[in-house]
Amino acid sequence: MLDLTSRIYEAAFLSDLWQPVLHDLAGAVAAEGAVIANISDPAIPYIASPGVAALYDEFLRGGWLQNNAKTKALLSQPAGGFFCDADHLSDAWMAEQPVYRDFYWPRGFGYAAGTVIESPNGDRVTISIEKKRGERGLDRGELDLLNDLRPHLARAALLACRFALARIEASLEALALAGLPAASIRADGRVIAANAPFSGIVDQATIESQDRLLVRHREVNQALYALLAQARQRSAEGAPPSRSFPIPSRPGSLPAVLHLLPVTGAVRDIFVSAAFFVVITPLKRQAAVSTDILRGLFDLTPAEARIGQSLVEGATIKETADSFGIAVETARSHVKSILAKSGMSRQGDFVAAISALPQMHGGADLRR
């Protein structure tokens, strides 16, 4: 057990070590496997030992995370130890719960012991030890062993959380050195951390009550939160989206572009629910914007970019159609596509936002 305790602390420094630690933790109590997950944010990847990796891949893809009576039962227990469902939940009750009846039981699983660890940033991390249904639940000696290890697991989670926050803050500081206001946000738009330049863009964006990011342009703010909602719903289907949102100027304030960038790689951590970096670049007004910039910002086709540029330059849809030798209905169809890709509902909003963008040169890639 001393070796396992040491490796628990090593995993706090090197996240790749969590999987073998979970494997040995499960093996110590004759279980099939173990999983650790941040239940505060379903978009955050979980870590599972090999014995239950396929099970939890299927669990996530099947949407069971949102219909999990087992986790709800765990959360209802007093904090501080491992909770064994076989000791507190009857077979009759479990038979009525879809997650047991339709997911765990048909796959041969059925008994588990779990605990909840509160992270310093307010997230809740669960560790679940999974046993096959044909085996007995965990006995008192096995639960005692898990509870002896729990303080070490909790301290390791605390260290891992602090290291993860430090990596996020280092990324934000690097952006600050480049003069870029930036913040890290959860999948629901709550701000985890922001750099010093971010406090200087209150005309474009700010942090409101409950730490929620607020963009000071209603339609851009709505489009941002709609994209975040879509990202949460698609969390099991692949990489999160990235996108750029033009923020039109207001009296006394510069226009800006908000870039939403997914947190990936070493910065993406199970113990801190940072889902995106938000980088906001205030801009100086220019006379025109190139078709290359329009294509890069919104993944427009060449034809859509030319039509968008024409509208920004003041032409009507009919004038644009005439100048390109296309039907008015064809031009309107292109405009509908432009608005859909830019996240704006009205042509006037698109024109107002894009007219604020500068003429940019070089190889900047702002595509989604």
Strand partners, 250: 253
The CA distances from residue 220 to 38, 49, 280, 342, 351, in Å, are 29, 41, 13, 10, 14
Q: Is the dihedral of CA 100, 48, 235, 205 positive or negative?
A: positive
Amino acid identity, residue 132? K
End-to-end C-alpha distance for the chain, whole angstroms = 48
Phi, psi of 181 (to 5 degrees): -65, 130
Q: What is the distance of C-alpha 339 from the center of its chain?
A: 25
Is 0.85 topped by the overall pTM? no
Distance of CA 367 to the CA centre of its chain: 19
At residue 134, the pLDDT reads: 79
10, amino acid identity: E
Nearest residue to 124 (alpha-carbon basis) of 155, 157, 148, 99: 157
Q: Which residues contact 133 (CB under 8 A, 6 or more apart)?
A: 104, 105, 108, 109, 110, 111
| Residues 128 and 55: beta-carbon distance below 8 Å | no
Distance CA 315, CA 307 (A): 9
Query: What domains, with CATH codes, occur in the chain?
Result: 2-163 (3.30.450.80), 165-354 (1.10.10.10)
Show pLDDT as tens, one digit a residue, over the chain (368 residues).
668 999 999 998 888 899 999 999 999 999 999 999 888 776 666 899 999 999 999 998 888 877 788 888 877 877 678 988 888 888 899 999 999 999 999 999 988 999 998 876 677 888 999 999 877 778 899 999 999 999 999 999 888 888 888 888 888 998 898 788 999 998 889 999 999 999 988 888 999 988 999 998 888 999 999 989 888 776 555 556 778 888 877 777 777 888 888 876 554 567 777 788 998 887 654 545 678 778 877 788 999 999 998 888 778 899 999 999 999 999 999 999 998 887 777 887 787 677 655 433 333 333 33
pLDDT at 144: 94
CA dihedral 12, 16, 22, 25 (to 10 degrees): -60
pLDDT at 1: 66
Q: What is the pLDDT of residue 150?
A: 93
Q: Contact at 8 Å (CB) between 266 and 334?
A: no
Please tell me the predicted confidence (pLDDT) of residue 103: 94
67 token code pair: 């219909």
Write the secondary structure of the chain as one string of H (helix), E (strand) and C (coil).
CHHHHHHHHHHHHCHHHHHHHHHHHHHCCCCCEEEEEECCCCCCCCEECHHHHHHHHHHHHCCHHHCCHHHHHHHCCCCCCCEEHHHHCCHHHHHCCHHHHHHHHHHCEEEEEEEEEECCCCCEEEEEEEEECCCCCCCHHHHHHHHHHHHHHHHHHHHHHHHHHHHHHHHHHHHHHCCCCEEEECCCCEEEEECHHHHHCCCCEEECHHHEEEECCHHHHHHHHHHHHHHHHCCCCCCCCCEEEEECCECCECCEEEEEEECCHHHCECCECCCEEEEEEECCCCCCCCHHHHHHHHCCCHHHHHHHHHHHCCCCHHHHHHHHCCCHHHHHHHHHHHHHHHCCCCHHHHHHHHCCCCCCCCCCCCCC
Residue 225 buriedness (CB in 10 A; 0-12 / 13-18 / 19+): middle
Q: Which amino acid is at 66?
A: Q
Length of the chain counted residue by residue: 368
Instruction: Output the pLDDT for position 215.
Output: 93
